[in-house]
Amino acid sequence: MINKDQLELKYQEWEKKKKSEDMQLILLSVLGIFSFFAIWQLASMTGIIDQKLLPPPTRIFETLMDKFVNKEPDGNVLLVNMLASLQVALSGFLLAIVIGIPLGLVMGWWSYANQFLRPIFELIRPIPPIAWIPLVVVWFGIGLQAKALIIFFTAFVPCVINSYTGIRLTNQTYINVSKTFGASNFEIFYKVGIPYSLPMVFAGIRVALGNSWSTLVAAEMLAASAGLGYMIQLGRTIARPDLVIVGMVVIGAMGAVLSMILSKVEKRFLKG
């Protein structure tokens, strides 16, 4: 029979082994990234890739560092562009969460709400977010509201769909037990349906976050004077691929950081 000390020893051995495996995976990821940039740099130096079309990583890094202090050519340092894009992306993203998640939960739980709202949603869902740009300009002009609304349309759909699907998958056994103990429909919705749907809800939020950043460049087409999307478009206009790639890299990095923060929030909610 295994005693307590043996169990603790086995757990410590397993923990050490797991940490070693995690470190190996991290090193493998770093090696993959390093190999990618090394091949890219080598291809540029040997002339396989035209540096005018695709600058080497060293030049991209120089441009990145330079943009932290240099306003040229778009008139803003990199931090200003990052904050402007963050404001646009998060405004539309948070609005989509506030409206989309409750709407999806209500549609998934109450059949009357589903019958009333779903035809409208199914008409709106296939419309590409960029197709809303002309109407948005007419409604709100070319300011922050217009840009945030474009982001809202692209983040809204996954929030609704995943919330709807998540609450529809609520285990019927839990619902029946709750009814047996005299819980009202709203109590079951609040105390059983919503907690059960959280994994799917967070999956929808994750998709919405990715969509928000992927639509950022299109949203900042609306007469922007700052932002990463604006910087990318200006880089294209003046034939500066290094500037374009810097904007792309920063968008990817900011999206990854926000995704990590979302993962922490998700773990906290699901543990609770």
Out of 27, 49, 71, pick the residue that ends a domain. 49
What is the per-residue pLDDT for 12?
Answer: 73
Same domain flag for 114 and 8: no
- The rounded distance, in Å, linking the Cα atoms of 179 and 263 is 34
What is the per-residue pLDDT for 128?
Answer: 87
User: Whose CA is closest to 235, among 86, 73, 70?
Assistant: 73
Q: What's the pTM value of the predicted model, to 2 decimals?
A: 0.81
Same domain flag for 32 and 149: no
**Do you find a cis peptide bond into 199, omega within 30 degrees of 0?**
no
What is the per-residue pLDDT for 238?
Answer: 87
Same domain flag for 26 and 93: no
Token pair, residue 21, equals 């495996």
Same domain flag for 163 and 88: yes
Domain count along the chain: 2
- The rounded distance, in Å, linking the Cα atoms of 144 and 84 is 9
Question: How large is the angle between the packed helices 78-109 and 228-237, nearest 10 degrees?
Answer: 120
Same domain flag for 150 and 182: yes
What is the per-residue pLDDT for 204?
Answer: 92
What is the per-residue pLDDT for 187?
Answer: 86
pLDDT tens-digit readout, 27-41 = 888 888 889 889 988
Q: Which residues of the chain have pLDDT under 50?
A: none
How many C-beta neighbours within 10 Å does residue 156 have? 27
Same domain flag for 203 and 86: yes
Own/partner contacts of 124-133, CB < 8 Å, gap of 24 or more, are 124/157, 125/157, 127/153, 129/153, 129/154, 129/215, 129/218, 130/215, 130/218, 133/218, 133/221, 133/222
What is the per-residue pLDDT for 7?
Answer: 67
pLDDT tens-digit readout, 201-235 = 999 999 999 888 888 877 877 667 788 888 888 88
What is the CATH number for 217?
1.10.3720.10
Same domain flag for 201 and 181: yes
Same domain flag for 213 and 126: yes
Same domain flag for 22 and 70: no
- The residue range of the domain holding 247 is 58-271
What is the per-residue pLDDT for 126?
Answer: 87
Same domain flag for 42 and 169: no
Same domain flag for 109 and 169: yes
Same domain flag for 171 and 266: yes
What is the per-residue pLDDT for 194?
Answer: 86
